[in-house]
Amino acid sequence: MLYFVKSVSFVMRIVIICLVCLFICAVAEAQSFRNVFRIPQPRPTYTAPVAVDVEPRTCEVYFSLTEEERDFIDELDKLRASRGYPQIMLVKEIVQDCRAWSAHMNRVKRLYHGVEFENCAVGADCGVRVFRMWRGSPGHNAKLLKRNDTVGGIGRDGLHWTYRAVSDIEQYRTGKDPESDLLVRENVANKPDTTTGYRVVY
């Protein structure tokens, strides 16, 4: 009787081992079958950014800007050209006003609007950085991409920046832009910067 029990136990072990081997073979066969009939996936390809032809600026006002201010204008030109929008014609009067307003904000250590049709920022040490700051804010980005804007200027003082643009110089001198109210409301929605106590962009 004991011999019979041992024999049955041995046979069961052999059966279990055979079943395990069959299972492993079945899995391997299934994997091989999937490899044969697998639909090849296209390899990811890198798409280079589309080059945009930007008309080089030759006006005297452009060359009167600082290197950092010109960097911002260069980025703005590329952005607007990519949408088929015209360049902002730089006006000396507007550039001077932008610089004066940036200097005022820097002096009083407060970031706020002087007119409706402007973007203001603090904390950027170069033109590319302030451009990216404004691009990252829906209201400010909308101002950069305002199709009807044709004249404007940029001004920096320290880490304070001001960008102004309107449809024509007479509109600038009247100080009213009928389309800018929404942009201002969107800009005000930006949260205050906790480290400085005032807004990074406004």
pLDDT of residue 16: 74
- Eight-state DSSP code of residue 199: B
pLDDT of residue 174: 80
pLDDT band at residue 169 under the 50/70/90 scheme: confident
In a domain, 44, yes or no: no
pLDDT of residue 31: 59
**Same domain, residue pair 24 and 85:** no
**Same domain, residue pair 22 and 105:** no
In a domain, 47, yes or no: no
pLDDT of residue 194: 35
Average pLDDT over residues 183-187: 39
More confident residue, 192 or 161: 161
**Same domain, residue pair 67 and 123:** yes
**Same domain, residue pair 22 and 114:** no
Q: Identify whether the C-beta of residue 151 lies closer than 8 Å to the C-beta of residue 169.
A: yes
Q: Check which CATH number belongs to the domain holding 74 and give it.
A: 3.40.33.10
In a domain, 112, yes or no: yes
Residue type for 61, please? Answer: V
Interval 16-50: pLDDT, tens: 776 766 677 666 665 554 554 455 555 444 344 44
pLDDT of residue 3: 47
**Same domain, residue pair 123 and 168:** yes
**Same domain, residue pair 8 and 98:** no
pLDDT of residue 47: 43
Q: How many domains does the chain have?
A: 2
**Same domain, residue pair 174 and 82:** yes
**Same domain, residue pair 96 and 152:** yes
**Same domain, residue pair 131 and 91:** yes
* Packed helices 67-82 and 127-135: angle between N→C axes, nearest 10 degrees: 40
In a domain, 146, yes or no: yes
In a domain, 178, yes or no: yes
In a domain, 143, yes or no: yes
Domain coverage including residue 180? 60-188
**Alpha carbon distance 177, 113 (integer Å):** 14
Residue type for 26, please? Answer: A
In a domain, 45, yes or no: no
In a domain, 193, yes or no: no
Interval 52-107: pLDDT, tens: 566 677 788 989 999 999 999 999 999 999 999 999 999 999 999 999 999 999 99
pTM score, two decimals?
A: 0.65
Could you write out the DSSP letters of every residue in 11-48? HHHHHHHHHHHHHHHHHHHHHHHHHHHPPPPPPP---P
**Same domain, residue pair 79 and 13:** no
**Same domain, residue pair 179 and 84:** yes
H-helix or E-strand spanning residue 143: helix 138-144
**Same domain, residue pair 1 and 91:** no
